[in-house]
Amino acid sequence: MRIVSLASGSSANATLIESEHTRILIDAGLSRRQIVQRLTKVCGANGRLDAILVTHEHQDHIVGLERTARAFEVPIYATEGTIAALEPCLEKISKLDLRVCVPRRAFEIGDLVIEPFRTPHDAAESCGFFIEERSLFAKLNKRVGLATDLGTVTREVREYLEQCDFVLLESNHDVEMLLQGMYPEDLKARILSEVGHLSNDDCAETLVHLAKEGRLKRAVLMHLSQNNNRPKLALETAQRSLNGSVEVAVAPRDRMSEIFVL
């Protein structure tokens, strides 16, 4: 499998996951033009998509959704609550192939088995995704988990991420930077709430748990705040806690990450 963050942060989010036969995009928070340009860098001029998965309806995850889905002529998968929340945001919803995915119920796209799981966020029905590329031998199945907007790591989130070799997990803010920063108090409270965003410390604590109790080999820190975090700080917080047990990288906020191979 190949995994690439096309962008990850409060302004734009999109992640490409590619198996031997299948290529999916999780969220489309860049313009169609930017998505096509970045996909071309990874996949070549004749690149294709098989589907777009949507975690939730916030603008930084759906800006390019409609036009990208039309350009590639692919279905959009999202929870029922997210689809309902998307309807006012889409110009020609009747011409889109919208498909409901249900948390904790697996479905297949090509050679990928995908299972959504609930995430606590201030959206209609947000979710993360557990993605498995099947092989002839179950022990060799490759598993990726993505959870990029969540205020806390619930038992359900842990349950799915414990099964993953590769995890893309939110590391949004440093608590002290947020508290000392210029955001209004109500916005600080929202971010710190259980339906807000995950801090560096909470992300690091979760990764330590996954390294000890799960099968985690590599992690990417996602959705870093421009104002309340620094890539070096987020990375050092995770690395200090993990003590070398897991390889960690940071997804850039406004450009593509490296191509991760699993």
Give the DSSP per-residue string, 70-115.
Answer: HHHT--EEE-HHHHHHHGGG-TTGGGS-EEE--TT--EEETTEEEE
Question: What is the per-residue pLDDT across 91-100, written as a single tens digit (0 to 9) for each?
Answer: 777 789 999 9
How is residue 157 written in tokens?
Answer: 């989130």
| Dihedral angle of Cα 234, 125, 49, 38, to the nearest 10 degrees | -30
- Of 89-98, 101-110, 128-137, 220-229, the range with the lowest mean pLDDT is 89-98
Give the mean pLDDT of 169-177: 98
Helices 65-72 and 32-43 cross at an angle (nearest 10°) of 50
In angstroms, the CA 154 to CA 216 distance is: 18
In angstroms, the CA 130 to CA 141 distance is: 12
How is residue 52 written in tokens?
Answer: 């777009």
Give the mean pLDDT of 49-58: 97
Q: Quick one: pLDDT at residue 47?
A: 80
How is residue 105 written in tokens?
Answer: 């119920």
Closest CA to 79 of 106, 113, 98, 102: 102
Give the mean pLDDT of 178-184: 97
Sequence-ordered list of residues with C-beta below 8 angstroms from that of 65, at least 6 positions apart, any chain: 27, 28, 52, 54, 76, 86, 90
Give the mean pLDDT of 18-26: 95
Question: What is the per-residue pLDDT across 214-260, written as a single tens digit (0 to 9) for each?
Answer: 999 999 999 999 999 999 999 999 999 999 999 999 999 999 999 99
Please state the domain extents for the chain. Answer: 2-261
- Considering the segment(s) 2-261 as one domain, its CATH architecture is 4-Layer Sandwich (3.60)
pTM above 0.85, yes or no: yes
The whole-chain average pLDDT of the chain stands at 95
